[in-house]
Amino acid sequence: MTAATEAVAPPKARGGIAQSVGDSLVVAKRNLIRMTRIPEMVIFGLIQPIMFVVLFSYVFGGSISVPGAGLSASGYREFLMAGIFAQTVTFATAGAGAGIADDMHKGLIDRFRSLPMARGAVLTGRTLADLVQTALTLVVLAVVALLVGWRTHENVLKVLGGFALLLLLGYAFSWIGALIGLSVRTPEAATSGGLIWLFPLTFISNAFVPAENMPTFLQTIANWNPFSATVQACRELFGNLPPNYPVPDAWPMQHPVWASLIWSVLIILVFRTLAVRKYRSASA
């Protein structure tokens, strides 16, 4: 074989997994570059959680009784922050759905179809880019929380573990957003569809008030809510549970770290499968 022949020889084909990973990273890079060129997307994504931190800390702090901490404003602030963090990562679902719906509406997905790339890479790349944005939001939010008086009382590894669970939950919910984005016709519908079910999910939970203050049937829902499991796990890992806090008897509340991991992985497996299937049928 001559040198000229070697120069024009086609590259060796990659395996399925290698191609899928490579294509996903390329799509993720494309979405991250797009975010840097539209900075208002990131800025507006930061404003809402910061407002929640300030408003809940100073408006409701001292007004809501937390078992073991009473009406202490500082006690409620520490109880609250895990819920605010979890709400922030889950509300990113609406943005993920709107972004995919926008790509579908503009025909970008059709252009991806014409390329020799893994079918699931478009969705995986998008969710990975959203995960990076969510991580940035959490960093800024944690700094704001520290400024208003929030503190952790465990070692660094446990605190990092808490934030890892939050990011895993956010990544899991981004697949729900991907499915919604593929199922509607406009970005506006994706935004509405991505938020309407999140409000009951986050408020029928232990995020903002102890579940024991709710009616009995709502307590059961709150204790088995995947959102509540992550909130409870983060409170334990951050050391933010008040002394003698009465932990409910439900298994997810007794083993919140494991419950959070199981819920997040299960959501990823189910909704990634459904989203990729929907993407394939939509682009067939």
Is residue 3 included in any domain, yes or no? no
pLDDT greater than 80 at residue 31 = no
pLDDT greater than 60 at residue 284 = no
What are the tokens at 95? Answer: 């943005």
Is residue 18 included in any domain, yes or no? no
Is residue 172 included in any domain, yes or no? yes
CA–CA separation, 175 and 105 (whole Å): 19
Mean pLDDT taken over the chain: 83
Residue pLDDT, tens place only, 235-264: 999 999 888 888 889 999 999 999 999 999
Please report the pLDDT score of residue 220 as a whole number.
Answer: 93
Total structural domains within the chain = 1
pLDDT greater than 80 at residue 37 = no
pLDDT band (50, 70, 90) for residue 226: very high
Report pTM: 0.85
Please report the pLDDT score of residue 149 as a whole number.
Answer: 85
CA–CA separation, 207 and 5 (whole Å): 64
Is residue 2 included in any domain, yes or no? no
Is residue 102 included in any domain, yes or no? yes
Residue pLDDT, tens place only, 49-94: 888 888 877 777 666 767 766 566 677 888 889 999 999 899 888 7
Is residue 15 included in any domain, yes or no? no
Please report the pLDDT score of residue 48 as a whole number.
Answer: 78
The total number of residues written for the chain in this structure: 284
Cα→Cα distances 94→116, 175, 214, 272, Å: 29, 11, 27, 16
Is residue 30 included in any domain, yes or no? no
Is residue 113 included in any domain, yes or no? yes
Which H, E and C letters describe 45-103, residue by residue? HHHHHHHHHHHHHHHHCCCCCECCCECCHHHHHHHHHHHHHHHHHHHHHHHHHHHHHHH
Please report the pLDDT score of residue 1 as a whole number.
Answer: 46
pLDDT greater than 60 at residue 12 = no
Please report the pLDDT score of residue 22 as a whole number.
Answer: 81
Please report the pLDDT score of residue 278 as a whole number.
Answer: 86
* Average confidence (pLDDT) over 273-284: 79
With CA atoms as reference, report the closest residue to 183 among 259, 65, 100, 255.
Answer: 100
Residue pLDDT, tens place only, 123-161: 888 888 889 989 988 998 999 899 888 899 999 999 999
* Average confidence (pLDDT) over 197-215: 88
Query: Domain span at residue 273?
Result: 38-282
Cα→Cα distances 120→89, 103, 110, 154, 270, Å: 23, 15, 14, 39, 14
* Average confidence (pLDDT) over 176-183: 88
Please report the pLDDT score of residue 17 as a whole number.
Answer: 77
